[in-house]
Structure 1
Amino acid sequence: MSESIGANTGTSILLEEVTKQYPGQVKPAVGGLTLEIPAGSLVMFVGPSGCGKTTTLKMINRLIEPTGGKIVINGQDVTKMDGDTLRRGIGYVIQAGGLFPHMTVATNIGLVPKMLGWDKAKIAERVDELLELVSLDPAIYRDRYPKELSGGQQQRVGVARALAADPPVLLMDEPFGAVDPITRQRLQDELLNIQSEVQKTIVCVTHDFDEAVKLGDWIAIFDEGAQLVQYDSPERILANPANEFVENFIGSGAGLKQLTLTRVNEVELVEAVTALPGDLASDVLSKLQGAGAPTAVVLDSRRRPLRRLTRRQLSRMQLVDDTVDASMPVVSDQSTLNDALDTMLVASADTAVVTGRREVFQGLINVQTIMEAISAANSAVGGDEAPVGLNSGAIPALSVENAMAAQTPSAEEPR
């Protein structure tokens, strides 16, 4: 790897016996951590406050300099690189997006590409591409300032900025911790949608174990001093917690958390009768009666759902209009069954509208589908072997060569 870590897709990361010892402290903040992060995977760091997970994250891009050990990205020990060059090749997202308030959305997103010498036309094209990727209309948002955005929109722009120079690695420090639960769920779904397209190597710190289960291909659970207690797939951690510490961290309701392991796009959706603004209401009503369906979903010109109309509502109008129902229960196809069930319960509904990338309508999901999915779930827990993860003294430390030669799971591992 040259004096840059640029790449279009994710690359492997290896922390080899990495230590961070602060002056005046008896115990290290991070003690002899060896951790393999496979290329293209989404790895979640979880653990109690002060356990060293954020310190570990920041050592990857050397916002915090390690006291000892190696950090190897795509085969190169980046502790020997210029720090500024390293950070320009790694995306970084913090709470509330960390946007510069005096800059427009477009200027915020284009900051790193400008530093790298991209021309104005290329930067403008990249800004619009990324705003589309995070489901923000460029024509509406590119010239706005952060104060004119909601918290969720600011966080989307923060993700877009982190991806601007197409880095292979994306680091996220409690990225969704400052937004409300509904926005948090939507941002989680959006991250999964984005990852399905860009396949970066993502390392994310969170205090929320449910978020770790939902997002992570692999979960690293830390105790004090970044002692790695368990590093495995969400399925195996839920089924076989390593010890009492992990059991307590998972908390009660482990069985219900299994709902978080299955996504809406893994179950069969219910087809729906759809309509467009301007359609004859009588024609839509006839389609509903023929299909034996109770409601029709009204879509805009980009096939995004606007609202649902009952037979009674259709019988009272001539043309379908473009009214938007903000209370309509909607979930992403990346949502978990737990998210879908919760959305339906909050809306007192037995079905929810499902959308995919760019909020395009996919179908409907109902309570019966979720119950059947739970009943049919395979209780066997399998999958690829977990990546390398240990602290010095736990077992003999692996060399960089041996660790990188270890079994590397596919980024397509079911979540």
Structure 2
Amino acid sequence: MLDDVTKRFPGQTRPAVGGLTMEIPRGSIVMLVGPSGCGKTTTLKMINRLIEPTSGRIILDGDDVTGIDGDQLRRGIGYVIQAGGLFPHMTVAANIAVVPKMLNWDKARIQARVDELLELVSLNPALYRDRYPKELSGGQQQRVGVARALAADPPVLLMDEPFGAVDPITRQRLQDELLHIQSELHKTIVCVTHDFDEAVKLGDWIAIFDEGAQLVQYDSPERILANPANEFVENFIGSGAGLKQLTLTRVNEVDLVMPVTANAGDLASDTLSRLQGEGGQNAVVLDERGRPIQWLSRRQLARLDRHTDAVDPKLPVIGNQATLNDALDTMLVSSTGAALVTGPRDRFLGMVTVQTVMEAITAANDAAQQGSSSAPVGINSGVIERSDGASAPVEGDAAPAGQGTR
């Protein structure tokens, strides 16, 4: 929790962060969003004291950490930056092992942890542990950056626009991977992003900042989209708020359809017989680890002898942590009007269809109107004069941002 935290930089008349009190619920993902220069990154860096607060307290597990050694604090808080921030002269394994070595872990424990984390971020340890960053794609570097941040099993993970430097398709996959990891580890994650759609997809709670890290609204994605606090929030959300509602429901919250499946090496004629018997049109071929590699029509099956282990790079695949918006985007490029859904370690879980998505949209809209969970506390004290000449709320006028005026 941040308790009345202020940061003033020399030579500036206004504080970068002004009297911020903000509760960060344990085990949740909190997204910090706002215009450039609003103080969201400064707020993030004060949590691990890469930037020292001018005043106020930072409470971690009930202890004020503003008085302890900064290096010691940072060894217990994971930190992920844009483009991974890997050391170029060190292998993947050495990059991940940096903090465990500082903590004097033995070699066997470090090696086991490196392999465990590479598996967690869906990178085969045998293939990647001895590579150097220059031998990795941007998405792979970012995965290693997440693994490094998790190396010493920190309770808190800070992420500063971690997916901003990769292409949209890779960004979606990395977002899904983060949600898979969170479903297993339940870390407390604070993430800065400039992308409101990303905040809606990833966040349990979203904090929208104006200048001076003034909290304008701090609430669930559902309630922010349904009830923006004021015109500033409406403008920040932008047009298409209705479409953004699709990001409120994830694929793992809807019922999946299980198509006919086959394994590499099976007779295609057997698969075709089962497909005809069940009235299906397409069958999914899986590899030895249960991952989808092909999606074949009846006509394609009739021309085959046995299923091969060749991977179709154009498969319409999404993770089960993906949003319905992601699902619809994927379906648009699929000739079958559906998408294949994978879970942890890319194992096949089933299929999502347009009809399933449309039914879920109606349910999500109903749930947003009935939601009643209390938002975390978020408030600023003091007056911050903005560059447009207006003033931010003073203490007493600013209700906790999660429960603020709407």
Task: Please give the range of the TM-score, normalised by the shorter of the 2 chains.
Answer: over 0.9
Residue of structure 1 in register with 2:192 after alignment: 205
Residue number in structure 1 paired with 2:295: 308
Measured in 2, the distance between the counterparts of 1:396 and 1:53 equals 23
SS of the residue aligned with 2:83? Answer: helix
Does the alignment pair 1:26 with 2:21? no
Q: Which of 63, 69, 74 is the aligned partner of 1:87? A: 74
Give the TM-score taking structure 2 as reference length: 0.93
The alpha-carbon deviation at position 277 of structure 1 amounts to 1.1
Contact 1:239 1:381 survives alignment (8 Å): no
- Per the TM alignment, residue 396 of structure 1 is displaced from its structure 2 partner at its CA by 5.2
Q: Deviations over 1:270-318 (max 9, x none)?
A: 1111111110111111010011111110100110010111111111111
Aligned to 2:158: 171
2:23 matches 1:36: yes
2:178 matched to 1:191? yes
SS for the counterpart of 1:143 is coil
Once residues 230 and 160 of structure 2 are traced to their aligned partners in structure 1, the CA distance between those partners, rounded to angstroms, is: 26
Q: What is the alpha-carbon distance in structure 1 between the residues aligned to residue 71 and residue 106 of structure 2?
A: 21
1:85-124 counterparts in 2 under 5 A?
A: 85-124=72-111
Q: Displacement of 1:395 after TM fit?
A: 3.8
In structure 2, the CA distance between the partners of 1:375 and 1:397, relative to structure 1 (3 Å rule), is closer
Tell me which amino acid in the other structure corresponds to 1:40.
Answer: G
Give the equivalent residue in structure 1 for 2:376.
387
Q: 1:374 Cα shift?
A: 1.7
**Which of 147, 154, 165 is the equivalent residue of 1:160?**
147
Output the CA distance in 2 between the equivalents of 1:87 and 1:269. 42
One-letter identity of the residue aligned with 1:116: L
Q: Confirm whether residue 361 of structure 1 aligns to residue 365 of structure 2.
A: no
From 133, 146, 170, the equivalent of 2:120 is: 133
Q: Is residue 276 of structure 2 the alignment partner of residue 280 of structure 1?
A: no
Pairwise CA distance, 1:383: 3.5
CA distance in 1, matches of 2:288, 2:312: 16
Give CA-to-partner distance per residue, 1:6-56, whole Å, 9 cap, x none.
xxxxxxxx1011001011110000000000001111000000000000000
Cα distance, 1:381 vs. partner?
Answer: 3.7
Matching of residue 254 in structure 1 with residue 251 in structure 2:
no
Runs of 4+ displaced beyond 4 Å: none
**How many matched pairs?**
387
1:412 corresponding residue in structure 2 = none
Deviation at 1:356, TM superposition (A): 0.2
**1:286–1:142 Cα change, 3 Å:** same
**Aligned runs of 1:340-379 on 2, under 5 Å?**
340-377=327-364, 378=366, 379=368
Match of 2:168 among 158, 161, 181: 181
For structure 1, which segment, 315-324 or 39-48, has the greater mean C-alpha deviation from structure 2 after superposition?
315-324
The separation in 1 between residues aligned to 2:299 and 2:335, in whole angstroms, is 19
State yes or no: 1:52 paired with 2:39. yes
User: 1:348, CA displacement in angstroms?
Assistant: 4.8
Whole-angstrom CA distance in 1 between matches of 2:172 and 2:41 = 22
Asked if the contact 1:17/1:397 (under 8 Å) is kept, the reply is no
Q: Would you say the 8 A contact 1:235–1:381 is kept in 2?
A: no
Query: 1:168-192 deviations in whole A, cap 9, x for unaligned?
Result: 0000000000000000001001000
Q: What is the root-mean-square deviation in Å for CA atoms of aligned residues?
A: 1.5
5+ long unaligned stretches in structure 1? 1-13, 408-415
Match for residue 3 of structure 1? none
Of 68, 75, 88, 2:62 maps to: 75
Q: Which amino acid in structure 1 is aligned with residue 379 of structure 2?
A: L
> Which amino acid is 2:266 matched to?
D
Letter in 2 for 1:256: L
Rate the CA distance shift 1:351–1:386 in 2: closer, same or farther, 3 A.
Answer: same
Distance in 1 separating the partners of 2:190 and 2:4: 18
Corresponding residue for residue 231 of structure 1: 218
Q: Which residue of 2 aligns with 1:143?
A: 130
For the residues of structure 2 that align with 1:397 and 1:163, how far apart are their CA atoms?
40
What is the rounded CA distance, in whole Å, between the counterparts of 1:397 and 1:373 in structure 2?
Answer: 39
Consecutive unaligned residues of structure 2, counting only runs of 5 or more, are 383-393
- 1:6-25 to structure 2, matched below 5 A, reads 14-25=1-12
Give the counterpart letter for 1:179 in structure 2.
Answer: V
Structure-2 change in CA distance of 1:132 and 1:397 (3 Å): farther
- Equivalent residue, structure 1, for 2:204: 217
Contact kept? 1:34, 1:397, Cα under 8 Å: no
String of CA shifts for 1:312-360, please: whole Å, max 9, x gaps. Answer: 1111111111111101100000000000001111345401100000000
Looking at structure 2, the residues matched to 202 and 230 of structure 1 have their Cα atoms a distance apart, in angstroms, of 19
Q: Which moved more, 1:364-373 or 1:353-362?
A: 364-373
User: CA 1:337 to 1:298, structure 2 compared with 1: closer, same or farther past 3 Å?
Assistant: same
Once the two structures are superposed, what CA deviation does each residue of 1:137-174 show, in whole Å capped at 9, x if it has no partner? 11111111111111000000000000000000000000
Distance in structure 2 (CA, Å) of the matches to 1:275 and 1:193 = 26
1:375: how far off?
3.0
